Structure 1
Amino acid sequence: MSPLIHPEARLVDAATGQFLTGPALRAAVDHATGAYAGAPAGLVLILLATRLDAVVGYLGALAADRPVALIDPAAPHVADLVNRFSPAAVIGSPAGSPPAGYRPADLGPLGPAWLRSEKRIDGPPPPPPHPDLALLLATSGSTGNPRLVRLSRAAVLANAHAIAATLGIAGGDVAATSLPLHYTYGLSVLHSHLVSGATVVVTDGTVMQREFWRDVAHYGVTSLAAVPYQYEMLARLHFNPADHPRLRTLTQAGGRLRPELIADFHRRMVAAAGRLIVMYGQTEATARMTVLPSAALPEKLGSVGLAVPGGSVSVAGDGEVIYRGPNVMMGYADTARDLVRGDDLGGILPTGDLGRLDEDGYLYIDGRKRRIAKIFGVRVNLDDVERMLTGHGALPAVGGDDRVRLWVEGADEPTRDALRAEAARRLGTHSSGIEVRTVDRLPLLANGKVDYRALEGVA
């Protein structure tokens, strides 16, 4: 059994009510582990749907010491990933005919798969991946042909334990899969609960669906993870934690949540004897790097907290946040040749985020180094623009043609004019440098974040 799975850990299939606990979970994972013997040696690419059998198949790959690339099952670029990384197997009912050099197969508990032929028509098989490599994840927000993050077994395990310790996860805790499992934040919920002997309810529902909350109540979910856009939706739905007496922990990561919403949900949870915990992380650090405990609110409102156990944060001279810890990635991978490499970073991660530390060591994120646009030749930090207008709800800002373009859901012309005027005033520029566009629904990535690339691509 993988060291990631505590002997008392439990998985529950919300769709069927099936429980896998203790020996039953161990037997299911062992069965999946054995099925990988039917595939050639090397990388396994898993189209990871939020289903119990898919989760068991993933855990089986880890137990078999197979490096695994987890991919969104709806991703349009699977063929490109296969071409670039030459996986030994593609698991998860891949659609269509297999590409050249692959054949269809049925791997029993793993289901339909593509297996790499021993004799490739386009050359020899790739060299074996580095023995420390365990997991590859697409960088957060990746679209098109994503770059993959190389994570070691030690990093995955270290971060799971660090999160479990920081949040105080114990055997009686129950989490629901409120986020996709191919997304680092969603996957870390699974890892940190399994390593603690807790329960994970596997459901593909969303916080916008009545069925999801039915499962929360039925299975006694105690903690829920969500990204900023989901909190915006919960606020619109007038979420009341008192309606869910077992739900005592909300966690937030995956981007910046408006401070007024942090304060709002903190008050709601405290009133129900619960807690809101704000976190900061990156795929490049396996998952989460810092945690702001509920007790630090509202005093440290706006902070993302202190480093997780085993990690540390500092701020370089140019303002970039530097993270150090055992959960830092080995490096990036663009092709199969990169999988052979060892650790490129030595546990040190320049995050690309700008930030500062207060006198107590609490970290505050001020923006991205590269989230920059120009208005009439003047550089503007797009994260600053969004913060300036935070009172208007989710209002993504992108650059374009010497101006800043703001996107807002369902706004009429007077509202757009008012937003344009306020943005221009706050930025000290002419209103012709600001464009406000309306959309029925903001485009979202599978992880619930705003799809900035989709907004940038609109003419």
Structure 2
Amino acid sequence: MSFFKLESNNLAVITHEHTYTYNQIPKVDFISGQKELVLLLCKNTIDILATYISAMNSEHAVMLLASDINCELLANIVDTYQPKWIVGLNSYQGYEIYQNKLVRTKEVATNIHPELAMLLSTSGTTGSQKFVRLSYKNIRSNAESINEYLEIEENERAIMNLPLSYSYGMSIVNSHLLAGASVLLTDASVMEKSFWEFVKEHKATSIAGVPFTYQMLQRIGFTKIELPHLKTMTQAGGRLNEKLVKHFAEYAKEQKKRFYVMYGQTEASPRMSYIPHEKTIEKSETIGIAIPGGELLIDKETGELIYKGFNVMMGYAESLADLAKEDELKGVLYTGDTANIDESGYFTITGRMKRFIKLFGLRINLDDVEKKLEQEYHITLACTGNDDKLIVAVEQADFVEQIKEAIERLYKLHKTAYKVKVMDEIPRFASGKIDYTKLKESCL
């Protein structure tokens, strides 16, 4: 049975050049005698979106990657997972082009779990061959929950400017297309005039963004733009400054619009909680309540936030053999975040169990950054930071420029998103282990 229904005459996709009803979305053939892997290098174009829809409907497993992925990492991923098809590349060794996609020339024995729908990276354009394994049930249940609390119906038109390879962007596409609604597809930034012309011309009813998006919206004076058709604003992909949450919530209240702050992880397909729009000002410091069908609770011993729901991933994959694995988590996700709960049942994140930061919606493992830079330069360094900035502390000033170049090359981060700090001595415990608490205090 097809994941997306394409029989309707309703408007499905609007691009800068064309509009497509559901039954006009181009179909792409993925014919094979067994379940295979489709690797998709994502851009916000009708060709890629149509390929994604066809791949999901084909019941093959789909791996979504950013089109600007690091070449070395892409090579490792292709070697590790041996996808049958690659879409978004003109050529690749061991593949030949056929009907606008690359097809693997040699036969490879694959055993992919019948329920496995998608593989999503948790680390963006770089860093890891580790993927989240999502089932059809995971994705569908989360889209249905999102549709319920955001009240997404057929007449909605969502502006889709986030990458499809990013779980937040993927969930916008899935929730709207499963509701029979429309998606406005663009690569334009909120900083560009063409973006707002597109929004106004096609009467977008909702806009989504990560914290950086909302920082940019404040900078361009978004609240002064006339947007009579815009009804809903959503934010996820990291913690938004409480002052900005209140700023946009107050704007939404004045303009009779709705502003939702949401919390999630790729491992949960990806939404786990939201603040109901009428409570956003009052509960601006929280992550809200569990999504419909989900449950949040706190581990009494560790303080870790635990989520339960049908949208919890099957598990991780680090090799081709892992694609055959059953559901390992059984609907229970230990988030790695610590939290507390108030008297009205709203949850607030208090910290992280592990060393992750979120920059522009991408989760970055500080230990992985350290490891990569140490391997490249063989010097003593340590990483810290928050959801606004990555900080790399070094003891040798000679390496500052090289490390800056490596961060931009490996992580595609803008200069404002990181800092390289030279220290006389990186703080350590008596055991010799780095004192990350003291390091963070001295760097931020």
TM range (shorter): 0.7 to 0.9
Structure-2 residue corresponding to 1:70: 64
Matched residue type, 2:104: R
Equivalent residue runs for 1:15-30 within 5 Å: 15-16=16-17, 18-25=18-25, 28=26
Helix, strand or coil: the match of 1:276?
A: strand
Taking every aligned residue pair, what percent have the same amino acid on both sides? 35
Name the CA shift for 1:146/1:231 in 2 (closer, same or farther; >3 Å). farther
Name the CA shift for 1:334/1:154 in 2 (closer, same or farther; >3 Å). same
Helix, strand or coil: the match of 2:237?
A: coil
CA displacement at 1:320 relative to structure 2: 0.9
CA displacement at 1:410 relative to structure 2: 11
Q: CA separation in 1, counterparts of 2:187 and 2:43?
A: 8
Contact kept in structure 2, 1:71 and 1:182, CA below 8 Å: yes
Structure-1 residue corresponding to 2:338: 354
Contact kept in structure 1, 2:12 and 2:20, CA below 8 Å: yes
Q: CA separation in 2, counterparts of 1:160 and 1:250?
A: 17
- Equivalent position to 1:267, from 240, 250, 253: 250
Equivalent residue runs for 1:9-408 within 5 Å: 10-16=11-17, 18-25=18-25, 28=26, 31-32=27-28, 35-37=29-31, 41-76=35-70, 77-92=73-88, 94-95=89-90, 97-99=91-93, 102-107=94-99, 111=100, 113-119=101-107, 125-141=108-124, 143-240=126-223, 243-316=226-299, 317-371=301-355, 395-396=388-389, 398=391, 400=393
Name the CA shift for 1:140/1:79 in 2 (closer, same or farther; >3 Å). closer
Q: CA separation in 1, counterparts of 2:32 and 2:211?
A: 42
Deviations 1:303-345 (A, max 9, x none): 1111111110111121111111000000111110110101010
Which consecutive aligned stretches of 4+ in structure 1 deviate over 6 angstroms post-superposition? 429-433
CA displacement at 1:371 relative to structure 2: 3.0
Q: CA separation in 1, counterparts of 2:78 and 2:221?
A: 44
Name the CA shift for 1:368/1:214 in 2 (closer, same or farther; >3 Å). same
Name the CA shift for 1:395/1:54 in 2 (closer, same or farther; >3 Å). closer
CA displacement at 1:66 relative to structure 2: 0.8
Q: Which runs of 5+ in 1 are unaligned?
A: 120-124, 374-380, 387-393, 412-428, 437-459
CA displacement at 1:162 relative to structure 2: 0.7
Name the CA shift for 1:408/1:21 in 2 (closer, same or farther; >3 Å). closer
Q: CA separation in 1, counterparts of 2:276 and 2:125?
A: 29
CA RMSD of aligned residues (A): 2.8
Matched residue type, 2:77: L
Matched residue type, 2:105: S
CA displacement at 1:218 relative to structure 2: 0.6
Q: CA separation in 2, counterparts of 1:159 and 1:212?
A: 28
Q: CA separation in 2, counterparts of 1:310 and 1:361?
A: 16
